[in-house]
Structures are given as C-alpha cells and as structure tokens.
Structure 1
Amino acid sequence: MPSSNDPASLRKRQPSEEKQLHPTSGVAASGAPDGSGQDASAASASGAFSFFHGFPYILLLSLAFSLYFILPLHSPQLLPHTYALCSPSGANIYTVDNRVPRAQCLVVHGSHFLDVGSLEEVQERWATRVATAYTNIPESSPIDVRYLQPGQIVLPGLSDSHAHILEYGAMKQIPLEDSKTAQVECVSHVKEYILADPELRDDKSKFVEGWGWDHTRWLKEEWPSYEFFEQDPDVSGRPIVLQSKDGHALWVSATVLRSMEPLPEEVPGGAILRDTSGKPLGVFLDNAQDLVKRPVPTHKALEKRFSATVKDALAHGLTSIHDAGISPISLEFFRRQADDGKLPIRIYGMTYYNENADYWGDTVVKIVGAGNGRLSARSVKIFADGALRSGGAALYEPYTDNPETRGLMRIEPEVLNTIIPKFMRDGWQVIVHAIGDRANGIVLDAFEEALKIANVTALRPRLEHAQILAEADMARFGDLGVIASIQPTHATSDMWFGEERLGPERVKGLYAFRSILDHGARITTGSDFPVEGINPLAGFHAAITRVSPDSKSPHGPGGWFPEQRMTREEALRGMTIDAAYASFTEDTLGSITAGKRADYVVLSQDIMTVPATSILSTNFIATVIDGRPAYGTI
C-alpha cells in the first residue's frame, strides 16, 4: 500500500486540469471534443504552448472552420457511427434503469447510448431521427442492427469499487498466493522469478518485489522469517520485499532488514514481529511497513504492471475500477496515461492520506473526467485499522483466539475527528478503511461529528470493508448517508476462520450485508484485488449465496449465515449504478440509459436466472467502453 503523500506533483495545478464531462454530449467543459484524449487547455497549463508550438493547432482550427462551412450540417461524414444491439429472443438487456428495467435492444450513437427499447420501437425512432434531424441521410437508411447469440445477455459495464490496480500487476509477476509453505514453495517461486530474469539473476543488488503470500493458507500457519531466503544460494544475499495477500504485512530479506537498522522498539499503529528472543523476523505489519524503503518503480515497470491488470480486467467485464489508495507515484502515472490518451479503462482514484504529511486538501486540485472521462481523483483514502486476517482489525473486545490483543488503530480518533471535517469542508469525498467493530464505530462517530459543519450525504462518505459491525452501528450507515463499500468474496474467504477469531456471537456481525441494507444503507461492491480474484462474478456469486465456488461453507451448502445474503438485483446494482453513485458518475455511467456513456458487457448466459451453481461458468463475450469493444467483439 502507499507509504507517502503530498509531493510537489500533487500541488495546485492550473484550473484547466479540472474539467467535467457533460453527461450527455461527451464534450468537456474546456471544449475538448469527445474522443480527443487531450485539449489545448492541457498544453497551456503545462506552459509549453507558444506561437510556434501552437501554429499547427491554428492550421487545424482553420481547416475545421473551413470544413464546417463546406460540408452540410449533419452530413454522414461528420456523424458518429450508430448501431443497435438486440436480442433475438426477448428482453435480455438488463438496463439497471427502473424506467425500463429490461429491453430487447440498445442503440449506440458514437460513445453514448441513444435509445433503449424493442426492435420495432428503436427502428421507428431511428427513422424519425433520420427524417427530422439527419437531413443528408436518405430516409430509407436502416439502422445497423447486430444480434446477440441465443442465451446471451447484456449488462451495464461492471465496476470494481475497491481494488489495487498496479499492485495486481505486481502480484502477477510471482505466483505466491497458492503456495502452501513459506520456507519451500514461496522461496522456490522467488527463485524461479530471479533465474528467469537475466538482469536480476546477474545483479544481486537489484530489488526483488512480489505480492500475494498468505500465512493463513500455509500447512503450518505461522509468520515467515528472513532466514528462509538465506537457505537458497540463488536467493540469499538479495534485497527482497514481498507484500502479503491482504496488503497489511511485508516480509523482507536479511539484506533489507540490515539496511533498516536500528529498528524502533514500537511503531504506533503497526508492529515489528520478533521471535521469542526479541530478534526481528523480517515481518512488518500495517504502519510498520512504512519503515521498509523500496526503490521507486520506473515508468516502464509501471506500464508492465498496468497492462497486466487492464488485460485481465477487460477480459472480466470491468469498465471502471476504483483504485483504493493510490500513492503519488501511481496517481502521476495514471495522470500521464490519461494525458497521452492511454487509459483503456475508467479509473476512480482514492488519494492515499499520510497523517505524517501536511494537510493538502485545500491546495491539491481534484481531477474530474480527465482523459476523455477516463480518470477522476476527487476522494481521499484514510486507514483506520488493520486487517482481520493478520489480527490488526480494531475490536471493542479482545480476539477470541488471541485474548492479549484487541487489534490496533492505525490513526488516532482525535486525528480522524480533525481531518475528516477538513477534507469535507474542502469538497473531498472521504473514504475510510475500517474492518473491526471498534474502528467502524470510531469512524462513524467522526462522520456524525462532521455533520455539524458539512452535508455528509452530499459528499458521499464511504466506509471501505465495514466488515465487523456492532448492531447499533449498522443503523448509522443509513442515518448518516454513509456508503458501505463491501467485498463479498472476503466473506467466503474469511468464513473459515471468522468464528475462531471472533467467537460465536460476535461473528454474526461479520459481513452482515442484509442487515446493512435493511437499515437503509447503500452498498457498492468490489473485490479488493489482488487480495481476491479479479472476476466480478465471483463477488456476485458470493453475495447471493455466501458459499465458496465449490458450494461449501462452515454452515453447509445453504450458505454461511444465509440470512445475510443479497438478492441478485442488489448485487447487480452494487457493481453498476450504486458503484457509479459512489464515484459521482451516476449521471453518465452505471445503467443502459439514453444519454449515458455506452459502457456495457455481453455475457454468455443469464446470471439473473440461471442456477447459482452455474454463475461462475459464465463467459465474458465482450466488454464495450464508449461504444467500442475493448475486449471481444459485437
């Protein structure tokens, strides 16, 4: 996870950098046409625009004005491509629009939805448009109609409301997640990675980084040690840093450990794990991870990670990803990709907050709709506590399996009560990671306090994870207008050790999805990849069944606390329109509605009606962004 914030690169920029796309026209407020990817204001803001640099631009403007008067208005040469996508066997397009919940056809005009309805309806309306608006198209010109294959359905583009984009790409480099032992399998995977890269193999000074180890899945559940690396001659003596699956622990080699000396005895909001003699193991939890210094990744390395993530995301129907805690380095990378027109997917960024840095909410300019609507960063992400898996979630009462601890707060309540209202006053959406019941209660207290100076609901605060909740706190989500951002596959991962860690009564408040919804809260869903898999249908399946992919749970095939299941409609909304609401884009994304961006996904079967056991066999046929396939074909 990020460990720093507030560099010069995030300081105030020219006002031209903050532009909002018009919800229906696709034209930026600055005047950049839909699809341009960049505009003159960006060049002006960079200070690079001069007469000679601008001369070609002036010629292009002159040409554009000439064409405007030479070519007739609405001529076919200037019209975006229009097509209809229809189901031959009924209303198999799920719009997630209450006005027309299901339809036979959608119509795309350029990068936006133009119409929704039956084939007869959209053809009639198209003929009327041709006759009244597009005067240079023959009235007999039919609309281009394409058809789904039998059984296929269409959904709005899917969103993952909590993920880590570049970290997922880093995880793909070394397959640590499925390792059953630290000392043998994890080290073996690291060795294979080193030997496969000539630069790493021949230069022992180069850092080796990976992601995904999970001590709770090892045959012997124990924390690893730096000594494991030193037992293999190809691995020993190298600087190695491996991130845990949940992102809350780092495992480092002896070389890295020596470079960090002297280590402090304690770290507020974190822990340095030690053996029985007090010697560090090379494992650092939560805030103690900030002690580990790693080299800044190159742009080439970031591009490699980004490409790996985008490839998998598009292949699984994702059109939008909320990046949950981007560092300044990541944000600058995404900004550069957006400026260069290289964002193939929509990103909603949560800027990581470092309490050791100066407050920046009144100096950093929010990013809204950069890169032709592909990048926004108007929220701040704060970590309240650690993770349940690593025993860092802050609880009201001690852990059942470790009565010596109640977990830890990574930030003091007094700081939360100060920082949250300040960010809200400056117009930022505040997003807080809170897993334990104590952490969730403290954060809800802070949001309630913020009501005194700001309209909390209008700023759409979010609690990320909201995993363990006291009964009294469940009702406060709806009362305060706080969005619960949940990850359903966490429930089916943690259900195997949840009761052992929390006890038989407290575990009932773990992943209580139905209770949160019944108290009037809005839920948005995600995966937290690379902590979990990237397939959004895995989250859909977990939310509605509360069983593992092989239909198992500690409570049997009926589901783990089945009374907490979500309906299919609620789960679909959580990854479409409610995810759009959670990122302030419900006017342009999240449903198949005329005027909205034409983001949609084609699936091989109807996940809303097939048996739950068949959902995970669904194939993604196509992922479409701005009306054009980003994956597959239509």
Structure 2
Amino acid sequence: MAIQISSFGCARIPHADLIISGGRIHTMNPKNPIAEAVAIQGDRIVYVGSGEGARKYEDEITIVINLDGKTAYPGFVDAHAHLMSLGKSLAELNFVGTGSSEEIRKMVLEKQQAVPKGSWIRGRGWDQNDWPVEEFPTWRDLSGTEENLVYLRRVDGHAAWVNKTVLDHYGITRETEDPPGGRIIRDENGDPTGVFIDDAKDLITAHIPEPTIDEKTAWAKAAILECNRYGMVGMHDAGIHKTDLQVYENLHGSGQLSLRIYAMADGDSIDFVKERFALGPSAPVGGYVSLRAVKLYADGALGSRGAAMLEPYSDDPRNTGLILTAPDSLYEMSRLALDAGFQVCTHAIGDAGNRVILDAYERALKEHRSGDHRLRVEHAQVVSLEDIPRSAQLGIIPVMQPTHATSDMYWAEDRLGPERIKGAYAWRKFLDSGCKIPCGSDFPVEGVNPLWGIYAAVTRQDHDGWPEGGWYPGERMTIEEAVRGFTIDAAFAAFAEKETGSIEVGKLADLTVLDKDLFEISPKEILNARVIYTIVGGSVVYSAP
C-alpha cells in the first residue's frame, strides 16, 4: 500500500485533499454499500463511488492512498468504555490474565522495590473466576506487602482488594458497617477479608489522593494513542468527571485530540451533573468532545455478584446482589435529565437492575412523550425475557459488550442457572425485538481491540474456538450486525448518525482500513486482521509500521 502526491498538472475543482482508492470500501450505507474510492476535502467526505469518478477530485496536491486491495470501513467507535481508566491502567499494575492470587502478590512485591515505603500501590484486572479456586482473595494473600498501602481493583472495577495495612490504617474492622449500595466481604467471624464490593470501595478510595491534571492528561494521551492503534476514531466515555472534561477540552484546544469523545457525566458527581444540566447539552457538529448525556448506576457487576437479581444467585442462594441507586432516585434523575435535554445512560447488569431502570424510564417518558430521547441501558446483560420486548416498545437502546459474554461464559450459567441464562447476553432476542445494539468493550474491563468484539459477536467463542459451534449460538450476530454495532449503530446511540457511522457524502471523514475484508473471511480470521490506517477528520492518525 502506498501514499502518493498526485502529479496532475492542472487543478480540478472541486479539490480533494485526500483520496482513498484501490480496494473495497464497506460504507454501511444500504443505498450504496460497496465503493471503490472516497474523496475527502478538509474533514468531510465529498465523493463515494468508483475509482474513475474519484479522479475528477484529484489535483497536483491531493494525497492519494492506494489500498492495494485492502478494505476500508467507517471508523470504529466503542459505544461504552472508560478512557481515563484505560490510561490509568496502562500506568499501573495490570493483572488481566493472571492465574492466581500468588502471581499477583509477586507482582506487588516486585513493584514495592520501585516505590517509596508507605506509598500507594495500585493495580487492576484480577478475576477470581480465572483462578483454580474461584473464590475472592483475602488480605492474607497479600502477605509481605505491608510496607505499602495496596489497592487492587477487580477487572470490572466493581470490587477492590486491599492488604492488611489498608484495613489497619483506616480502622476497618468487624464493627464497620456495610454502606448503602456496598458490601464488605467478611470471614466466618465477621472480620473484613480485604475485599470491598461496589460502594463499599468508597471506604478506601476516600483516602487515595486525587490524580493531578497533569497525571490525567498523561493517562488520556496514552489511552487515545492506544485507541487509534486499534482502528478507533471515537468512543463513548461512560462516566466522566469535571477534570476529565477539562483534560479533553485542553487536548482538543492544543490539537492533540485524535479521538471523538461522546461523554456521559458521572451521575455520582452531583455538583458536576447539576452544573452541566444548567449549561445544557454540548454537542457541537463535527466536534471532538460532546457532553449531552448522564451516566447512572442501577446495580453492580455479575463477576462480583453485585448485579441485582430478581431471585438469588444460583451459586450464592443468600445473595440477590445490590441496587446501587434507589428506584425513585433513578426516576427523578432521569426526569431531570430529560428536562435539561440530556440523554440518560444507566448501568444495569442483573435482571432486577434492568427491571428497575426500565420502570424508571417508563415513568420519566410518560412526562416527556415528545422528543427524541434515545434512553440507553448500558450492558443489559441479564434481562428477564418479558423485559426484552418491553425495551423495544419503550425505544430503549441496549448498549452491549460482546466480549463480556465470551469472558463470562465459563461460569455465567453456574451463577444464573439454566432458565435465567436464556435472557443473558441475549443479542439475537434484542435484535429480533426491534432494538439496535451499539457495541462496545467496556475497556479496560475487556481488551481495547474492536475486532475482538466483532469476533465474539459472530462466534460466541473464545480465541481458541471454544466451545465448538459457539456458546448459546442462537444469540449470535451476523457480521453486518456486528460491524454496524461498532459504526452506524454506535453513532445512532450518540445522536451522531447524520455526521458519522457510515461513509457518505457530507459526513465526517472517519475511516478504518484493515488488511482483511471482514465480510469475506472466516470468523476465525477476524482475530488476525490488522489495522493499516486510522483516519479521523480526514487526517491519518495511525499508520501501521
């Protein structure tokens, strides 16, 4: 593949700054699904069609990218992820893929050699479901680390594991009560074991120093580069704080933002949310940073048994999980958001969590019958079968993460039982009910690579091809549905389908070029596809070495 400057002797009008041709272009526009060439002027697409037709836009200063038979797509967008958390995870201990608590202890001990005594050591990514004994770790599993304060988040961010030093330093004992929306894991004597679920984490995080703007800027820059490297042109940032917005706007102002960010104000940051509601939605056409949504939390996570269930967990019969926000509060916040012109995006994983937010949305929508609200449920992971068509009837958008299914499939049925599993990761049921499914990864909970999400969506298998035929294969997506989930349907979930998500004249020139045609190769080959170019607003922001 080559980039060249045209040698045409006389200029042609209209002029294109960039032409991409010489391969197949999947536009995701049903009226013109396949093209040979795209012409771009500034940050907009001015032509989509044949290679010959694109030539009239070319002049002596046009840059031409010859695809050499490669394939272009609308730029990939992750519809649910956490940019700052990704950057932070790149800067701290990463436990994804670790096989035991002992392996993690050794990593912490090694880190101790490089940090001052008494300082915090932080990490993320442990998952007890991947260990030989699928039980939560305890402070005893971190023995030898007592010279430092150790705080290690579970892969989903909904649980944290600390060492004995943290428990002693902050006086957390058997007398410490579980906070609303949280749980302290305790031993048979009632003593804290060192694991804190959901809002119980606040007992620890209240004492961890807040990161500086400079630290957050470094995290954001590292995360943006990582996203671009995997072909991403945008992402929906699920729960940001005021300083996050400041960082993004500063990066944009200094020309260092190469990723479109559709931000959701974190509903737990009450003052920030009130401030944004008073200012109104920020959604500049063609902009890089928009904030017109709020993120709420109905329940916890399945892996830590904090997802709220209508019936007790099959593998923990005394536990139904946690409702993190009272139903009336979910309704009230949804109503206030709609009053202010904001979209509502609510984390809901368990069937009770999903029921609670659907009830709240239905109440709020009765007071806002007109308008295009596009209320979202983030994850919609375990849903009662009767609530799936109800979601479609209410116009709810279930934003789902295909790799959650393939990460959880080894233990999910043990946790949910044979009947409840039928409404879990139920992509086909949602699609058949009439819902669109914007897709994401929830990174850094899962890997950043959107191709992993597309592979999971069409196979419901892990990277080794297990299980044969796929896990509950009737819920698989087609390749077109999966690609839509990371392109035009992701754009729809952000009210951006007129600007991005497909390759059409007048839209923003955001494209991803791969070395393979996802629509032609076998599903297994998707994992081997490689990003060649990431193009945002007509500028190449990543080029494969």
Q: Which of 623, 629, 633 is the matching residue for 2:534?
A: 623
CA contact (8 A) 2:349 2:380 kept: yes
Please give the residue correspondences for 1:127-146 in structure 2 after superposition, counting only pairs within 5 Å: 145-146=64-65
CA 1:147–1:581 in 2, change beyond 3 Å: closer, same or farther? same
Deviation at 1:275, TM superposition (A): 1.4
Deviation at 1:458, TM superposition (A): 0.6
CA 1:189–1:79 in 2, change beyond 3 Å: closer, same or farther? farther
Q: Determine the C-alpha separation between the residues in 2 that align with 1:336 and 1:522.
A: 34
For residue 349 of structure 2, what is the aligned residue in structure 1? 435
Which amino acid is the alignment partner of residue 291 of structure 1?
L
Aligned residue for 2:386, secondary structure, equals helix
For residue 18 of structure 2, what is the aligned residue in structure 1? 83
CA contact (8 A) 2:280 2:340 kept: no
Whether 2:32 is the aligned partner of 1:100: answer: yes
Which amino acid is the alignment partner of residue 551 of structure 1?
G
For residue 506 of structure 2, what is the aligned residue in structure 1? 595
Q: Determine the C-alpha separation between the residues in 2 that align with 1:303 and 1:392.
A: 32
For residue 219 of structure 1, what is the aligned residue in structure 2? 132
Task: Spell out, residue by residue over 1:251-278, the C-alpha distance to the aligned partner (whole angstroms, 9 max, x if none).
Answer: 1223322343256312111101111111
Deviation at 1:364, TM superposition (A): 4.4
For residue 38 of structure 1, what is the aligned residue in structure 2? none
Deviation at 1:399, TM superposition (A): 0.8
Q: Determine the C-alpha separation between the residues in 2 that align with 1:446 and 1:478.
A: 15
CA 1:432–1:142 in 2, change beyond 3 Å: closer, same or farther? closer
Q: Determine the C-alpha separation between the residues in 1 that align with 2:431 and 2:418.
A: 23
Aligned residue for 2:496, secondary structure, equals coil
CA contact (8 A) 1:457 1:481 kept: no
Whether 2:193 is the aligned partner of 1:281: answer: yes
Please give the residue correspondences for 1:341-380 in structure 2 after superposition, counting only pairs within 5 Å: 341-354=255-268, 360=274, 362-369=277-284, 373-380=287-294
Please give the residue correspondences for 1:331-480 in structure 2 after superposition, counting only pairs within 5 Å: 331-354=245-268, 360=274, 362-369=277-284, 373-455=287-369, 458-480=372-394
Aligned residue for 1:369, secondary structure, equals coil
Which amino acid is the alignment partner of residue 460 of structure 1?
R
CA contact (8 A) 1:477 1:520 kept: no
For residue 86 of structure 2, what is the aligned residue in structure 1? 168
Task: Spell out, residue by residue over 1:185-210, the C-alpha distance to the aligned partner (whole angstroms, 9 max, x if none).
Answer: 11211232332x4xx2xx21322221
Deviation at 1:79, TM superposition (A): 9.3
CA 1:256–1:79 in 2, change beyond 3 Å: closer, same or farther? farther
For residue 261 of structure 1, what is the aligned residue in structure 2? 171
Deviation at 1:336, TM superposition (A): 2.6
Q: Determine the C-alpha separation between the residues in 1 that align with 2:457 and 2:502.
A: 20
Aligned residue for 1:84, secondary structure, equals strand
CA contact (8 A) 1:325 1:350 kept: yes
Paired residues, number: 530
CA contact (8 A) 1:599 1:625 kept: yes
Deviation at 1:144, TM superposition (A): 5.2
CA contact (8 A) 2:273 2:294 kept: no
Task: Spell out, residue by residue over 1:138-158, the C-alpha distance to the aligned partner (whole angstroms, 9 max, x if none).
Answer: xxx6965432123x1000100
Q: Determine the C-alpha separation between the residues in 2 that align with 1:159 and 1:368.
A: 17
Deviation at 1:113, TM superposition (A): 0.8
CA contact (8 A) 2:308 2:353 kept: yes
CA 1:505–1:81 in 2, change beyond 3 Å: closer, same or farther? same
Whether 2:409 is the aligned partner of 1:495: answer: yes
For residue 156 of structure 2, what is the aligned residue in structure 1? 246
Aligned residue for 2:278, secondary structure, equals coil
CA contact (8 A) 2:237 2:262 kept: yes
Task: Spell out, residue by residue over 1:458-513, the C-alpha distance to the aligned partner (whole angstroms, 9 max, x if none).
Answer: 12110000011111110122211111100000011111111111111111110110
Q: Determine the C-alpha separation between the residues in 1 that align with 2:28 and 2:371.
A: 23
Q: Determine the C-alpha separation between the residues in 1 that align with 2:240 and 2:112.
A: 27
CA contact (8 A) 2:112 2:148 kept: no
For residue 6 of structure 2, what is the aligned residue in structure 1? none
Aligned residue for 1:471, secondary structure, equals coil
Deviation at 1:633, TM superposition (A): 6.3
CA contact (8 A) 1:175 1:189 kept: no
Aligned residue for 1:548, secondary structure, equals coil
Q: Which of 58, 61, 67 is the matching residue for 1:148?
A: 67
For residue 45 of structure 2, what is the aligned residue in structure 1? 113
Deviation at 1:374, TM superposition (A): 1.0
Q: Determine the C-alpha separation between the residues in 2 that align with 1:567 and 1:522.
A: 13
Deviation at 1:306, TM superposition (A): 2.1
CA contact (8 A) 2:460 2:473 kept: yes
Whether 2:496 is the aligned partner of 1:585: answer: yes
Whether 2:83 is the aligned partner of 1:158: answer: no
TM norm structure 2: 0.92
Q: Unaligned regions of 5+ residues in structure 2, if any?
A: 1-9
Task: Spell out, residue by residue over 1:44-97, the C-alpha distance to the aligned partner (whole angstroms, 9 max, x if none).
Answer: xxxxxxxxxxxxxxxxxxxxxxxxxxxxxxx98x99852321125xxx100111
Q: Unaligned regions of 5+ residues in structure 1, if any?
A: 1-74, 128-136
Q: Which of 435, 452, 455 is the matching residue for 1:521?
A: 435
Q: Determine the C-alpha separation between the residues in 1 that align with 2:301 and 2:524.
A: 30
Q: Determine the C-alpha separation between the residues in 1 that align with 2:465 and 2:344.
A: 37
CA 1:394–1:357 in 2, change beyond 3 Å: closer, same or farther? farther
CA 1:359–1:175 in 2, change beyond 3 Å: closer, same or farther? closer
CA 1:457–1:431 in 2, change beyond 3 Å: closer, same or farther? farther
CA 1:376–1:252 in 2, change beyond 3 Å: closer, same or farther? same
CA contact (8 A) 2:533 2:543 kept: yes
Aligned residue for 1:616, secondary structure, equals helix
Whether 2:517 is the aligned partner of 1:606: answer: yes
Q: Determine the C-alpha separation between the residues in 2 that align with 1:632 and 1:142.
A: 20
Deviation at 1:365, TM superposition (A): 4.3
Q: Determine the C-alpha separation between the residues in 2 that align with 1:416 and 1:456.
A: 20
CA contact (8 A) 1:95 1:156 kept: yes
Deviation at 1:303, TM superposition (A): 2.9
CA 1:359–1:617 in 2, change beyond 3 Å: closer, same or farther? closer
Q: Determine the C-alpha separation between the residues in 2 that align with 1:356 and 1:334.
A: 20
Which amino acid is the alignment partner of residue 367 of structure 1?
S
Q: Determine the C-alpha separation between the residues in 2 that align with 1:546 and 1:227.
A: 37
CA 1:615–1:362 in 2, change beyond 3 Å: closer, same or farther? closer
Q: Determine the C-alpha separation between the residues in 1 that align with 2:44 and 2:356.
A: 42
Deviation at 1:280, TM superposition (A): 1.1
Q: Which of 415, 431, 444 is the matching residue for 1:530?
A: 444
Q: Which of 297, 310, 314 is the matching residue for 2:211?
A: 297
Aligned residue for 1:344, secondary structure, equals coil
TM norm structure 1: 0.80
Determine which structure has more spread, i.e. the larger CA radius of gyration: 1
Q: Determine the C-alpha separation between the residues in 2 that align with 1:162 and 1:455.
A: 27
Aligned residue for 1:250, secondary structure, equals strand
Q: Which of 307, 311, 316 is the matching residue for 2:225?
A: 311
CA contact (8 A) 2:399 2:440 kept: yes
Which amino acid is the alignment partner of residue 17 of structure 2?
T
Q: Determine the C-alpha separation between the residues in 1 that align with 2:277 and 2:61.
A: 53
Q: Determine the C-alpha separation between the residues in 1 that align with 2:239 and 2:254.
A: 23
For residue 40 of structure 1, what is the aligned residue in structure 2? none
Task: Spell out, residue by residue over 1:567-623, the C-alpha distance to the aligned partner (whole angstroms, 9 max, x if none).
Answer: 111111111011111112112111111111111011001111101111101011111
Q: Percent identity?
A: 38
CA contact (8 A) 1:96 1:591 kept: yes
Greater shift, 440-449 or 510-519, is seen at 440-449
CA 1:142–1:240 in 2, change beyond 3 Å: closer, same or farther? closer
Aligned residue for 1:277, secondary structure, equals coil
Q: Determine the C-alpha separation between the residues in 2 that align with 1:236 and 1:631.
A: 43
CA 1:315–1:143 in 2, change beyond 3 Å: closer, same or farther? closer
Q: Determine the C-alpha separation between the residues in 2 that align with 1:436 and 1:495.
A: 15
